[in-house]
Amino acid sequence: MGWEDELFALFDDLEDRASALYAAERDLEVADRSRAEYQQVTLAGRLMASVGRSVTLGVPGVGAVSGVVERVADGWLLVAAGDHDWVVVLGAVATVDGASDRSVPEVAWSPLTRLGLASALRRIADAGEPCLLHLRDGSRHDGVLRRVGADFCELVAGEGRRTVLVAFSALAAAQSRA
């Protein structure tokens, strides 16, 4: 092998080493960017990607809520669980098992998903069907939602037809009784 071949072999070797160093550095940069981007992912975004999937939610004061995610919106989600539907306050969800590995960023959500918890509860009130309100402290109130305010709802409960006001901040979930 002549000196030119040796020189070209040296250049090839140096080029291979430079490519390997670049690839290793690029892999580290991609991993770092992935970590940085993932910090923008929200629980709501992961649940939005899970619409149509069966999940089990851990909700303190309620326990496990298992069913199919039907809808995710601003601060709440709808879970169909056999004969009952659950409106679960997103802030009350402690764990999710079975969620999609993907996420849907909020900018890609439908305008209908901007409807808040009050809208979901008004729909229950308009239906006039019995429901069970689960509070974050573990207590429950059975009755019919009558009216929904800005940050609370009115439940007509019991045979005495007493009115119970429930603050949204105390609410974990509303379960259909029909």
Does residue 7 sit in the same domain as residue 67? no
Question: Does residue 90 share a domain with residue 154?
Answer: yes
Task: Answer yes or no: do 48 and 82 share one domain.
Answer: yes
Same domain? 57 vs 140: yes
**pLDDT computed for residue 12 by the predictor:** 72
Both 55 and 109 in a single domain? yes
Tens of pLDDT, residue by residue over 145-171, are 999 999 999 999 877 789 999 999 999
Does residue 151 sit in the same domain as residue 79? yes
pLDDT of residue 57: 97
Q: How confident is the model at residue 14 (pLDDT cuts 50, 70, 90)?
A: low
pLDDT exceeds cutoff 70 at 28: no
Neighbours of 120 (CB within 10 A): 22
Nearest residue to 87 (alpha-carbon basis) of 166, 6, 7, 2: 166
Tokens coding 138: 């573990």
Do residues 124 and 103 both lie within one domain? Answer: yes
Question: pLDDT higher for 11 or 151?
Answer: 151
Residues 82, 159, single domain; the answer is yes
Average pLDDT, the chain: 87
CA distance 140 to 159: 16
Residue 44 — very low, low, confident or very high, per pLDDT cuts 50/70/90? very high
Is 32 found in the same domain as 108? no
Q: Residues 47, 34: one domain?
A: no
Q: What is the CATH number of the domain that holds 140?
A: 2.30.30.600
Query: Which one-letter amino acid corresponds to residue 23?
Result: A
Top mean-pLDDT range of 22-31, 56-65, 153-162: 56-65
Q: Rounded to whole angstroms, how far apart are CA atoms 165 and 68?
A: 29
Q: Are residues 10 and 93 in the same domain?
A: no
Domain that holds residue 32: 1-40
The number of folded domains in the chain is 2
- Domain identity same for 139 and 85: yes
Position 8 scores a pLDDT of: 64
> What's the pLDDT score for residue 178?
63
pLDDT confidence tier of residue 73, bands split at 50, 70 and 90: very high
